[in-house]
């Protein structure tokens, strides 16, 4: 499989240091702003740019992998976040790699996406000592909303994501 480099325009920052040991899996789509192009990579990329957020990788519905932020840089994909117990570290962007799957809460992810995700996870693990693979929903929780640290709970990758399909 090939990874397509298509870096975002500086929507990242330097890492403060420390080891990258976590992968955060997300889901996104462009349906609210572009209903006819909900699963378009180009529209999803435009949304990331317009909203000044980023992820290291995006996997489209056909399984194409796009590298948007160099892994050694900090992407802005997790927002205010805290790892589940017993880890409990906050500021997950500091020690993680973010992967967006193009999809939504109602559509199952494609087998090509799962194949590409497994390929990408294996590739990342060759370079990094990954200890945790979590969903955005696991690190942007009601607890953080209740503490007044977040406005909302994140749903992604959501109920349609089959955790059993990743290695």
pLDDT digits (tens, 9 = 90+) for 42-73: 999 999 999 999 999 999 999 999 999 999 99
Q: Measuring CA to CA, which residue among 118, 134, 125 is closest to residue 65?
A: 118
Q: Write down the pLDDT at residue 1.
A: 87
Instruction: Report the catalytic residues.
Output: 100
Answer whether 145's CB lies under 8 Å from 112's CB: no
pTM (2 d.p.): 0.96
Which pLDDT tens digit goes with each residue over 89-133? 999 999 999 999 999 999 999 999 999 999 999 999 999 999 999
Contact 90/81 with Cβ under 8 angstroms? yes
How far apart, in whole angstroms, are the C-alpha atoms of residue 22 and residue 28?
Answer: 19
- Give SS3 for 80: coil
Confidence check: pLDDT of 167 > 80: no
Q: What is the pLDDT of residue 56?
A: 98
Strands 73-75 and 12-14: antiparallel
Our CA angle for 136, 142, 145, nearest 5°, is 100
Residue 23's CB: how many other CB atoms inside 10 A? 23
Query: CB-based contacts of 94: which residues, under 8 Å, 6+ apart?
Result: 15, 16, 18, 74
Both structure tokens of 117? 């995700």
Position 34 scores a pLDDT of 96
């Amino acid at each position: 499989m090939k990874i397509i480099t298509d870096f975002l325009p500086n929507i990242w920052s330097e890492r403060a240091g420390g080891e990258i040991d976590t992968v955060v899996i997300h889901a996104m789509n462009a349906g609210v702003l572009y209903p006819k192009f909900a699963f378009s990579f180009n529209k999803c990329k435009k949304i990331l740019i317009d909203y000044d957020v980023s992820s290291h990788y995006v996997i489209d519905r056909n399984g194409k992998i796009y590298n948007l932020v160099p892994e050694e840089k900090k992407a802005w994909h997790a927002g205010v976040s805290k790892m589940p117990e017993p880890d409990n570290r906050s500021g997950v962007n500091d020690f993680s790699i973010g992967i967006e799957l193009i999809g939504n809460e109602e559509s199952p992810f494609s087998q090509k996406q799962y194949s590409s995700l497994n390929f990408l996870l294996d590739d990342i693990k060759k370079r990094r000592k990954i200890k945790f693979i979590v969903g955005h929903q696991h690190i942007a929780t009601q607890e953080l909303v209740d503490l007044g640290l977040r406005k909302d709970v994140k749903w992604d990758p959501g109920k349609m994501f089959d955790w059993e399909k990743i290695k």
